[in-house]
């Protein structure tokens, strides 16, 4: 079974405004609501690809109930949320205009009692399951929380995927995550360097592998993707051709595609290609990737062994 964890899910209020004017009354030309959060995005894309998953996370208030209902009813995905009763799940406002802007909320207060409830949920996971720890965490939670989760699960034989940045990611490496997915800009931030080409990206991605990650998937937007594989090889794929319509969720979709490819075939190269196709399909769509969109792009994804 696949499980995704979103510490701070949201209702994403997406609007389009023609030529937004600061300090003036502006009217939307389109608007819609979606359940948000990186782990939720991963589960939605997995569902679109025909793969079941369960969503973990913390919710609160009427917005939390709306998130739960939308995930379950709109996408037919099983949830096992913990209701924390301390505040409200956040509403994130995202506006497309001449420039894209967003305002993100803080979310509810998560206490040690709630974290223990989460650890109790994880006791039911078993060998061979996949757990995705994805996204940022609220300020009320320690930035070693992913490390603590992995430490508690280290004896269970679970494949853990971590899609996070900075210290949140660096702290988990010693626990040997199955897969991590930084992008090239996050690599620069983590190592305080300026990357000048593929060789540099490979060099620092390999450092993450040396520090404990089994597999490292690096997204580079229009410049393609790199995969530092557990088998010792480095694979590169150019980005598929298409018009980028929406960058939100593309990285989550790449993670979902990789997981889908891996659980279906246990072949790393197939998983990498599925990740590239799925991330690109979401970028080329107004919404998250569909199975048909992914299958069409997958035909054109070509991987090469990158000689470093």
Q: By the 8 A CB rule, do 154 and 122 touch?
A: no
Cα distances (angstroms) measured from residue 226 to each of 25, 76, 109, 211, 219:
45, 33, 37, 18, 7
Distance CA 171, CA 185 (A): 19
b/e per residue, 88-109, with b = 16+ CB within 10 A? bbbbbbbbbbeeeeeeebebbb
H-only helix segments in the chain: 38-48, 61-69, 75, 112-122, 145-153, 166-170, 184-191, 198-210, 250-265, 268-283, 291-298
β-bridge partners, 163? 134
For helices 268-283 and 291-298, the axis angle rounded to 10 degrees is: 120
Please pick, among 12, 129, 163, 252, the residue that the annotation labels catalytic.
252
* Span between the terminal Cα atoms of the chain, in Å: 36
Q: How many CB atoms lie within 10 A of CB 14?
A: 20
Radius of gyration of the chain (CA): 19
Decide if 252 is catalytic.
Answer: yes
Tokens of 125: 């996971």
Distance CA 135, CA 148 (A): 16
Decide: helix, strand or coil at residue 238: coil
Tokens of 49: 């690809």
Q: Which residues are catalytic?
A: 252
């Amino acid at each position: 079974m696949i499980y995704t964890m979103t510490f701070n899910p949201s209702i994403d209020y997406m609007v389009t405004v023609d030529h937004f004017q600061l300090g003036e009354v502006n009217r939307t030309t389109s608007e819609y609501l979606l359940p948000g959060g990186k782990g939720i995005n991963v589960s939605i894309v997995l569902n679109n690809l025909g793969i079941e998953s369960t969503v973990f996370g913390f919710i609160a208030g009427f917005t939390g109930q709306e998130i739960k209902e939308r995930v379950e009813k709109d996408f037919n995905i099983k949830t096992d949320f913990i209701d924390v009763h301390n505040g409200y799940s956040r509403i994130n406002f995202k506006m497309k205009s001449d420039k894209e802007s967003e305002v993100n909320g803080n979310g509810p207060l998560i206490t040690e009692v709630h974290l223990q409830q989460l650890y109790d949920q994880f006791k039911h996971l078993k060998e061979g399951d996949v757990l995705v720890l994805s996204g940022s965490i609220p300020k009320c939670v320690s930035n070693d929380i992913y490390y603590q989760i992995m430490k508690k699960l280290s004896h269970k034989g679970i494949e853990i995927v971590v899609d996070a940045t900075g210290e949140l990611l660096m702290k988990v490496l010693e626990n040997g995550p199955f897969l991590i997915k930084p992008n090239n800009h996050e690599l620069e931030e983590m190592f305080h360097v300026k990357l000048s080409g593929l060789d540099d990206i490979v060099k620092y991605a390999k450092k993450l592998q040396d520090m404990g990650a089994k597999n490292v998937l690096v997204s580079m937007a229009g410049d393609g993707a790199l995969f530092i594989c557990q088998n010792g090889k480095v694979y590169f794929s150019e980005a598929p051709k298409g018009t980028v319509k929406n960058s939100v969720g593309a990285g989550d979709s790449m993670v979902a595609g990789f997981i889908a490819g891996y659980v279906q075939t246990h072949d790393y190269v197939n998983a990498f290609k599925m990740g590239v196709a799925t991330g690109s399909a979401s970028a080329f769509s107004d919404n998250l990737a569909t199975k048909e969109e992914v299958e069409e792009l997958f035909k054109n994804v070509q991987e090469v062994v990158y000689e470093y």
